[in-house]
């Protein structure tokens, strides 16, 4: 074999070995990319929020959480509790929305977000509450607090009492507006519970759902700072917050196809990131879960016989929504039933507990909701009872 042929064969062998080696190296690298590192966790939902939670309020299911019990500042999301205490006072009849609230010097001095109240300026309680819910007005917060409790300090005490009544272990209020203060904190989970409680109050729901409002006869336009009301399908309540210490925060609620979620994000860094992170977490929940609904809160679900009453029957209503949250694909197999006595003796009071609505699956109870009487049924007089007996005979 000539020297020239030996050179050609040698070069070809070298090229072949390099090609095979490169292919093997590429295959190894590809395998490395597809093989998770030892101890790696499968990819899931991630959020830039320092703390977050996604709560389904009917069953209390936590669909997602990150450091949900961590104590953090919450800026103006504080005002959810301010609104809750104030609207509860109105619902109880202690105050009227038409009440005139007078601005004190203390309220006038408040900085940050405001509606620029003047000392001595009078405004209806309704206007003040709208300014708190939409504009996040710190001056209105103090004015309302003083109107309802006599002083901001007394109002803050009522806020903390309400937190204790809700068994919130990681919440403490120092003021009613959320400006940075020592020992003023909450957690993502606790805020979700506050919003859950607020949604039970029709006035609270109305205020937090409003997108806009004309104040001072239209001279001052209020726009809700919770942009999810425009940007996210089903969003219907919530409150934003920002301070340098708390960063961007948002507690919000949305409902789709009978399934409600409450989402809270605390401590997001970037402008509008509290909105984008909340929408991402909501999407996570709606992509994975579905609500199996049996009865709405207050809905009539049956009739119960009444003995010795002015009426023979009373409507039975569900005290709370009868609903089960499940992973998609697991909606079938639930069995609902009413647990009721054969009859109940008069007198019957509206709202009186009379039984239970029970939902089971595979023989196991998964949900129990109280059933109550839907109306008053006074006891029949002796004459009425005698006539009823005669009518049944003849």
**Is 136 a known active-site residue?**
yes
Tokens at 99, concatenated: 């009440």
Closest CA relative to residue 144, chosen from 201, 94, 193, 104: 104
How many whole angstroms separate alpha carbon 95 and alpha carbon 146?
13
Pairing verdict, β 289-295 and 322-327: antiparallel
Residue 202 neighbours by CB distance under 10 Å: 10
Q: Which of 66, 76, 196, 291 is catalytic?
A: 76
Helices (H), the chain: 3-34, 79-91, 105-108, 125-130, 138-149, 152-165, 188-198, 202-209, 228-231, 273-288, 382-393
Of 113, 136, 187, 323, the active-site residue reads 136
Write out the two tokens for 112.
Answer: 């940050």
Q: Which residue(s) pair with 220 in the sheet?
A: 215
**79 belongs to the catalytic site:** yes
For residue 29, report the phi and psi dihedrals to the nearest 5 degrees: -65, -40
Which sign, positive or negative, has the C-alpha torsion 315, 316, 320, 325?
A: negative
Placement of tokens 């500042």 in the chain: 73
Name the active-site residue from 79, 162, 227, 239. Answer: 79
SS3 state of residue 225: coil
**Cis-peptide into 388, omega within 30 deg:** no
Tell me if residue 311 is catalytic: no
Torsion, Cα of 275, 278, 283, 285 (10° steps): -160
Within its chain, how far is the Cα of 115 from the centroid? 27
User: Annotated active-site positions, please?
Assistant: 76, 79, 136
């Amino acid at each position: 074999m000539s020297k020239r042929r030996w050179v050609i064969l040698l070069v070809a062998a070298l090229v072949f070995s390099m090609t095979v080696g490169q292919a093997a190296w590429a295959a190894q690298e590809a395998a490395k990319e597809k093989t998770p590192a030892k101890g790696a966790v499968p990819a899931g939902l991630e959020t830039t929020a320092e703390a977050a939670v996604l709560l389904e309020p009917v069953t209390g299911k936590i669909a997602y959480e990150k450091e949900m019990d961590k104590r953090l500042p919450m800026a103006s999301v504080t005002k959810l509790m301010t609104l809750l205490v104030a609207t509860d006072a109105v619902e109880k009849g202690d105050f009227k929305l038409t009440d005139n609230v007078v601005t004190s010097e203390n309220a006038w001095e408040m900085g940050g977000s405001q509606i620029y109240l003047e000392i001595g300026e009078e405004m209806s309680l309704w206007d003040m509450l709208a300014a708190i819910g939409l504009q996040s007005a710190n001056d209105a917060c103090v004015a309302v607090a003083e109107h309802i409790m006599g002083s901001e300090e007394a109002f803050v005490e009522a806020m903390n009492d309400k937190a204790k009544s809700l068994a919130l272990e990681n919440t403490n209020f120092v003021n009613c507006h959320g400006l940075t203060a020592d020992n003023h904190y909450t957690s993502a989970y606790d805020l979700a519970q506050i919003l859950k409680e607020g949604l039970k109050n029709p006035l609270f729901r109305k205020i937090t759902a409003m997108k806009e409002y004309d104040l001072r006869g239209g001279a001052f336009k209020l726009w809700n700072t919770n942009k999810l009301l425009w940007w996210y399908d089903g969003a219907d309540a919530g409150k934003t917050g920002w301070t340098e210490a708390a960063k961007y925060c948002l507690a919000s609620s949305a409902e789709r196809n009978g399934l409600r979620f409450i989402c809270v994000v605390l401590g997001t860094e970037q402008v509008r990131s509290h909105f984008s992170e909340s929408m991402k977490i909501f999407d996570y929940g709606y992509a994975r879960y579905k609500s199996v609904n049996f009865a709405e809160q207050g809905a009539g679900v049956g009739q119960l016989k009444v003995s010795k009453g002015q009426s023979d029957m009373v409507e039975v209503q569900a005290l709370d929504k009868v609903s089960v949250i499940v992973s998609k694909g697991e909606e079938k197999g639930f069995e609902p039933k009413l647990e009721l006595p054969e009859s109940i003796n008069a007198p019957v009071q509206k709202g009186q507990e009379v039984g239970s609505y029970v939902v089971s699956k595979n023989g196991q109870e998964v949900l129990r909701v109280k059933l109550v009487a839907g109306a008053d049924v006074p006891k029949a007089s002796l004459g009425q009872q005698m006539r009823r007996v005669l009518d049944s005979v003849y």
